[in-house]
Structure 1
Amino acid sequence: MRAIWKGAVSFGLVNVPVRLFAATENHDVQFRQVHAKDGGRIRYQRVCSIDGEEVPYSDIAKGYETADGQMVVLSDEDMRSLPSRSSKEIAIEKFVPADQIDPLLFDKSYYLEPDKSGLKPYVLLRDALEKADRMALVTVAVRTRMTLAVLRVRDGVIVLQTLLWADEVRTPEFESLSEETHATARELAMASSLVDSLSGDYEPDEFEDDYAEAVETLVASKVEGGEVKEAPAAAAEETEVVDLLAALQRSVDKAKAARAGGSGAAEDEAAEAPSRETATKRAASKTTAKPAAKTTAKATTKKAAKKTASKSTKKAG
């Protein structure tokens, strides 16, 4: 695993140096939109809804749509004026009973690994959390935006789990459930009997993603049957190269301005770097990603074919 954040947990007067790792990964089956005739990837253009013209990245800004449908365009200067946090501190605000945190509020999960110098205070915090049977409510700045989170212990490791804000949870408003309707005593007794008959412990390995396995088997069978499209690589668009060069030039110009303007400009440059880097990577990927995507697709299908052949050999034996 690769650390995505490095900082420290503030525990009273104790600081615990830690590294943050994503605790989960998504294994959902991903499909590409392709041309049914030749298997070519479908590309999308950035087109303005008003004049119908394609818009380069250099002309794209952030817009906020108001409740009445009006659009407010925000400049880079506007974005820099917004409050942002670059602190590398996970500040413990209070310790709360675990049952007071509704699971609906849980968002993303991360593992916290201590630095060598912080092993002892890390273990102290971990053991204190387990003994108190509470979660530590913390504030943390991940990607410059402050968020609420909790610290809890799982399998001897401290887990940071970000929380949704209270107003991000929708209120269920279902007219069909507004009436005071309850099950009869006989219905409840039968339901309780069914619950008892199906009761058991949760075993994660007991369940499998049969859809993903079915997709792999289907793809492997088509590869073995030669049903593979070898679409030619699409020609790179010159406009994307121009956009990339323009983005690089702006980066150079702003870097020079930051050196000339002192530490304040440097901080602004650092705050803006992630979004600019993302835009540059997107532009670069438009011109270079296709051959790599094909290579990856071939490797995946060959791997799936080998997996299917191995299963067939085991069954035959």
Structure 2
Amino acid sequence: MRSIWTGSIGFGLVSIPVKLFSAVQETRLDLDMLDGRDHAHIKFQRVNENTKKEVPYDKIVKGYKYDDDYVILEEADFEAAAPDKTKVIEIENFVDIAAVNPMYYETSYYTEPATKNNKAYALLLSALKKSKKAGLARFVLRSTESLCLVHPVDKAIVVTRIRFAQQIRDQDDLELDDKINVSDKELKMGLALIDQYAEPLDLSKYKDEYHGALLKIIEQKAKGKRPTIKKLKPKAAKSDDLYDQLMNSLQVKKGA
């Protein structure tokens, strides 16, 4: 793997030189947009909506709509707003990993000590595992400041970017009915169903089957074969009663 960032993790007065590597990879297929008549690539042009003519790249500016007009931003404005370009992931405090809502997670990066036999790296890794805590920090990647968690995963310290609080939309705009009464009998049955389906987390059992199936279809079509289209088989509900549905779900699980 090629590192995408080099710097250090700041842990109190301890500085740990590290390299950052992307911990995730895309599995989707790279599809091109083509003209269906001759399979020529589709090209996009930047067109002035008034003149309908293409705009030269050096004439394109960025603007923010303010009232009924646009405020044009220049390169110096972006530089003035950009965070200080630091090479330190400075841990500001430690939090319980379980307290972080999964809605905040974005993407993760592996860290690797930049020097061999780095005892400080080993210490932080062990301390995070023992405490079940994660360091909350900020760092700058590609001129953008990110909030992140510094946490242990097996043998490595992982940096996971998380969203800022203002990026999470409020629920007030949702039409949620919080006055629906759930009976004790229904709740007990729901808990029993959850308990019956509960098992240790093992994500390795779950595969992204869609892209593999799509690739097989591509290979079949390349050979002049027509793919088999799956037919949906709707299941009819045996009862409209919630309790009966829960009970039937339990019986199905037991039968399986």
Q: CA-to-partner distance for each residue in 1:8-41, whole Å, 9 max, x for gaps?
A: 1111221100001111112123432211111111
Unpaired runs of 5+ residues, structure 1, are 228-317
Distance in 2, matches of 1:4 and 1:85, equals: 18
- Tell me, which stretches of 5 or more residues in structure 2 are unaligned? 227-256
User: Which residue is equivalent to 1:163?
Assistant: 162
> What is residue 101 of structure 2 aligned with on the other side?
102
Aligned length: 226
Q: AA paired with 2:57?
A: Y
In structure 2, relative to structure 1, the CA distance for the partners of 1:62 and 1:176 (3 Å cut) is closer
2: CA distance, partners of 1:145 / 1:101: 22
Letter in 2 for 1:79: F
Structure 1 residue runs of 4 or more that deviate by more than 4 Å after TM superposition:
none
**TM value normalised by structure 1:** 0.66
Contact 1:18/1:118 (CA < 8 Å) preserved in 2? Answer: no
Flag the 1:202–1:100 CA change in 2: closer, same or farther, 3 A.
closer
Instruction: Give the drift of 1:87.
Output: 0.8
Cα gap change, 1:170 to 1:201, in 2 (>3 Å): same
Q: Which has the higher strand share?
A: 2
Kindly, what percent of the aligned residue pairs are identical?
31
> In structure 2, what residue type is equivalent to 1:52?
K
Q: State the distance in 2 between where 1:194 and 1:168 align.
A: 34
In 1, distance between residues paired with 2:114 and 2:98? 31
Any idea what SS the aligned residue of 1:110 has? strand
Q: Which letter maps to 1:65?
A: K
Q: Which residue of 1 aligns with 2:172?
A: 173
The residue aligned with 2:237 is: none
User: SS at the partner of 1:113?
Assistant: strand
Query: Greater share of helix residues, 1 or 2?
Result: 1
Amino acid in the other structure paired with 2:223: E
Q: Is the 8 A contact 1:17 1:118 kept in 2?
A: no
- Kept in 2, the 8 Å contact 1:85–1:145? The answer is no
Structure 1 residues 69 and 128: CA distance shift in structure 2, 3 A: farther
Q: CA deviation at 1:201?
A: 2.6
2:183 counterpart of 1:184: yes
Residue number in structure 2 paired with 1:195: 194
Give CA deviations for 1:192-240 in whole Å, capped at 9, x if unaligned.
222233222332232222221221111111222299xxxxxxxxxxxxx
Provide the alpha-carbon RMSD of the alignment. 2.1
